[in-house]
Amino acid sequence: MVYDVVVVGAGHAGCEAAAAAAGLGRHTALLTFHRAQIGRLSCNPAMGGLAKGCLVREIDALGGLMGRVTDQATIQFRRLNTRKGLAVQASRAQVDVDLYPGLMRAALESTKNLEIVEGEAAELLISGGRIVGLRLADGRELRTTNVVLTTGTFLGGLLHCGEQQTAGGRIGEEAALALSACMRSLGIPLNRLKTGTTPRLAAESIRWDLLEKQPDDPGHFSFDPPGKRPGSRDMYITWTNAQTHQIIREALHRSPMFSGQIQGRGPRYCPSIEDKIVRFADKDRHQLFLEPEGLQTNRVYVNGTSTSLPKDVQELLIHSVFGLEEAEILQYGYAVEYDCIDATSLGHDLQLRSLPGLYCAGQINGTSGYEEAAAQGLIAGIHAAGGSLRLGRDEAYIGVMIDDLVSRGVGGEPYRMFPSRAEHRLLLREDNADRRLSPKARALGLLPEERWSRFAEKEREIQQQKSWIKAQILVPDASTQERLASSSLPPLRKAQSLEEYLRRPEVEWMALRPMFPELSAQPEVGEQVEIDVKYAGYIVREEGRRADAQRLEQFSLEGVDFMQISALSMECRERLSRALPPTLGAAARLPGVTPAAIDTLALVVARRDGKERYL
């Protein structure tokens, strides 16, 4: 069997990679152990969160699947950080654990040029120093010059629950052991990381009446018109206590994390419950979120209790929590160790520099999270199919993440996307992801005509509305003041344009509409006009910072021998020699590379180019 692209693994990275490659017209195979496992939600059935929600919207703006499938499976939606600035506001959706993968599988099965193949990848086939195919465990060969590895936690996967160890990528499923051995034999260095999941409880055994309910907000991820939700479920909050913490402390010697049984490092920002108790010993309680997994299941995810403690200890700690005294555990928490590569061995196209034709995306690159994986899968799939999409750090969170991975690596622990990682985050908001990225998707051929027409009409109306409000002059006469007061709007102090009036913090678009029927009734249009107007000064300032950063990217460091620059410290020379940053901008983002070092590098590059200086 011959394909243009073969994607190994059908998790969130694999689904997006396969859909993108097929969408670009390439004959694509998506290899999975079992078709029924496509798009499974191994951990919490939820999408989004801080920065992660922006990744979902960027994937959608680029023609990916995650946002649309999430909206079709949402059972609760929340807006986070609404009292803070736009740069850190975020969306999060709880989805049905069975409906989401079913919808994702259906979307892929109906994708033209895509074939789903069941089997285990066992060996990468190499000829002339590049990929020529993939051999499966049953002997079949898939011939291709482009392979995308999206193996998740399956590559060399080992499950831990107390002292018990089982080979597997997740509970009840096999591990990809042969492929791991093959990669080592090819000289591809592999590291070891760890992640984990929580106990699942029976809904009917929880005292819901004692717990605090979380509000459900309106909202959706995709820029497509929202449809009707399949149903809804309430989420609740409870807390650990002194008894819970004591139970965990007394059992730490039985925890694989603390006994030395687990070698890989887990995610710093999503620690296990036992890790929390040790690291935050001064805290007398930790918040737990009880999140039903779906509409047709009684399983409840206990967010905040990721653990690999033995089953008997898990029983004790769960039953010590308020409202869970009689809770029945349907599935115990466990940790999983898995193999990953050093992401600095990849280019920005996520292709392994040492082996042309081999692309990697998702947890194999040392990241954590469905959203991070899906975004990488989309980019890897585009490049494996012969497309090209390099997103700058000033253009997308996806660009920030990939640049972080290939320039800095993950630092020995799973990488998670945060707003603080993006230096231009005021420009990289959830609300404007389509305005930033849809034209790029259209140019690539990933955005269907219907979606593009809808976007183009929205953008036309935004610009039209901005021009209209700029031209409208409000005069502080009695009639105008009375109309403003009747809408609970502040009075005019002087004659000014409607644009200037809207810039005032206490004035909102929807409050102005009764006075001005000409204002758009489309919420997404009004939102963008209001943001553009209110944040104009901040955005201009951020655009200046972006221009400065782009200027550094123009200066190539190709061919520079960093070890020969005596004006740099030895530590700095070693860091630069290991990372080999392609530009001054990339060098400036490396840990330990100071502004003074950048000035020195700029002088070196200027002399190389026959200039007196650049900066």
Helices and strands, number each (H, E), in the chain = 21, 23
What pLDDT sits at residue 413?
87
Q: Are 350 and 383 in contact (CB under 8 A)?
A: yes
Average pLDDT along the chain = 93
Instruction: Give the distance, in angstroms, between the CA of residue 383 and the centroid of all CA atoms in the same chain.
Output: 19
- Say which residue, 263 or 324, is predicted with more confidence: 324
CA nearest neighbour of 136 among 146, 149, 125, 127? 125
537 - beta bridge partners? none
The phi-psi region of residue 119 (left if phi > 0; otherwise alpha if psi is between -120 and 50; otherwise beta) is left
Which of the four pLDDT bands, split at 50, 70 and 90, describes residue 614? low
Which of the four pLDDT bands, split at 50, 70 and 90, describes residue 420? confident
What pLDDT sits at residue 501?
95
Q: Which residues contact 486 (CB under 8 A, 6 or more apart)?
A: none
Could you give the dihedral angle defined by the CA atoms of residues 553, 559, 561 and 567, in that order, rounded to the nearest 10 degrees?
-40
3-class secondary structure, 280: coil
**Yes or no: domain 462-539 corresponds to CATH 1.10.10.1800:** yes
What pLDDT sits at residue 613?
59
Which of the four pLDDT bands, split at 50, 70 and 90, describes residue 615? low
What pLDDT sits at residue 69?
98
Count of other CB atoms within 10 angstroms of residue 543: 14
pLDDT higher than threshold 80 for residue 576: yes
Which of the four pLDDT bands, split at 50, 70 and 90, describes residue 40? very high
- Residue 203, token pair as written in the block: 């809904």
Which of the four pLDDT bands, split at 50, 70 and 90, describes residue 612? low
Q: Are 468 and 531 in contact (CB under 8 A)?
A: no
Q: Give the separation between CA 345 and CA 368, rounded to whole angstroms.
A: 18
Pairing of strands 235-239, 496-497: unpaired
Write out the residue limits of the CATH 1.10.150.570 domain(s) in the chain. 554-608
Which of the four pLDDT bands, split at 50, 70 and 90, describes residue 610? confident
Q: Which of 63-72, 203-212, 262-271 has the lowest mean pLDDT?
A: 262-271
- Region 31-53: mean pLDDT is 95
Write out the residue limits of the CATH 2.40.30.260 domain(s) in the chain. 200-334
Q: Are 7 and 148 in contact (CB under 8 A)?
A: yes
Look up residue 229 and give its amino acid: R
Q: What angle do CA 193, 343, 442 make, to 5 degrees?
A: 120
pLDDT higher than threshold 80 for residue 559: yes
- Rounded to 10°, the helix 52-61/370-384 angle is 30
Q: Give the separation between CA 381 and CA 503, rounded to whole angstroms.
A: 42
3-class secondary structure, 152: coil
What pLDDT sits at residue 436?
97
CA nearest neighbour of 101 among 233, 231, 234, 294? 294
What pLDDT sits at residue 410?
86
Q: Give the separation between CA 289 and CA 441, rounded to whole angstroms.
A: 37
Q: Give the separation between CA 309 and CA 256, rounded to whole angstroms.
A: 7
Q: Give the separation between CA 179 and CA 538, rounded to whole angstroms.
A: 50
Q: Which residues contact 102 (CB under 8 A, 6 or more apart)?
A: none
- pLDDT digits over 235-261, tens only? 999 999 999 999 999 999 998 877 778
Q: Give the separation between CA 254 and CA 600, rounded to whole angstroms.
A: 53
Q: Give the separation between CA 99 and CA 597, rounded to whole angstroms.
A: 53
- Region 534-549: mean pLDDT is 88
Q: Give the separation between CA 317 and CA 305, rounded to whole angstroms.
A: 9
- Region 412-425: mean pLDDT is 89
Count of other CB atoms within 10 angstroms of residue 368: 24
Q: Which residues contact 417 (CB under 8 A, 6 or more apart)?
A: 51, 52, 55, 369, 371, 372, 397, 400, 401
Four-way CATH pick for 200-334: 1.10.3720.10, 2.40.30.260, 3.40.50.620, 3.30.750.210: 2.40.30.260
Which strand ranges, in their side-by-side order, compose the sheet holding 235-239? 212-214, 235-239, 287-292, 299-303, 200-202, 329-331
Q: Give the separation between CA 76 and CA 410, rounded to whole angstroms.
A: 32
What pLDDT sits at residue 261?
84
Which of the four pLDDT bands, split at 50, 70 and 90, describes residue 267? confident
- Region 85-105: mean pLDDT is 93
- Say which residue, 542 or 53, is predicted with more confidence: 53
CA nearest neighbour of 306 among 279, 288, 280? 288
Level-2 CATH architecture, domain 5-194+337-430: 3-Layer(bba) Sandwich (3.50)
Look up residue 454 and give its amino acid: R
Q: Which residues contact 361 (CB under 8 A, 6 or more apart)?
A: 13, 14, 17, 148, 149, 150, 350, 373, 376, 377, 379, 380, 381
Tokens 């466990």 locate to 334
Q: Are 438 and 459 in contact (CB under 8 A)?
A: no
Q: Give the separation between CA 266 and CA 196, rounded to whole angstroms.
A: 8
- Region 295-304: mean pLDDT is 96
Q: Provide the b/e sequence for 307-327 (b: ≥16 CB within 10 Å).
A: bbbbeebbbbbbebbebbeeb
Which of the four pLDDT bands, split at 50, 70 and 90, describes residue 533? very high
Q: Give the separation between CA 433 and CA 219, rounded to whole angstroms.
A: 15
Q: What angle do CA 458, 538, 584 make, to 5 degrees?
A: 100
- Region 273-278: mean pLDDT is 91
- pLDDT digits over 364-393, tens only? 999 999 999 999 999 999 999 999 999 999
- Region 131-146: mean pLDDT is 97
Which of the four pLDDT bands, split at 50, 70 and 90, describes residue 300? very high
Look up residue 285 and give its amino acid: R
CB half-sphere exposure, 558, CA atoms < 13 A: 4
Q: What percent of the chain has pLDDT over 90?
A: 75
Residue 225 DSSP class: P
Four-way CATH pick for 554-608: 1.10.150.570, 1.25.40.10, 3.40.50.261, 1.10.10.10: 1.10.150.570
pLDDT higher than threshold 60 for residue 191: yes
Q: Give the separation between CA 585 and CA 605, rounded to whole angstroms.
A: 13
3-class secondary structure, 510: helix
- pLDDT digits over 330-361, tens only? 999 999 999 999 999 999 999 999 999 999 99
Please say whether the dihedral angle defined by the alpha carbons of residues 194, 195, 198 and 200, taken in this order, is positive or negative: negative
What pLDDT sits at residue 452?
97
CA nearest neighbour of 334 among 169, 178, 177? 169
Write out the residue limits of the CATH 1.10.10.1800 domain(s) in the chain. 462-539
Q: Give the separation between CA 59 and CA 554, rounded to whole angstroms.
A: 27
Q: Give the separation between CA 54 and CA 419, rounded to whole angstroms.
A: 9
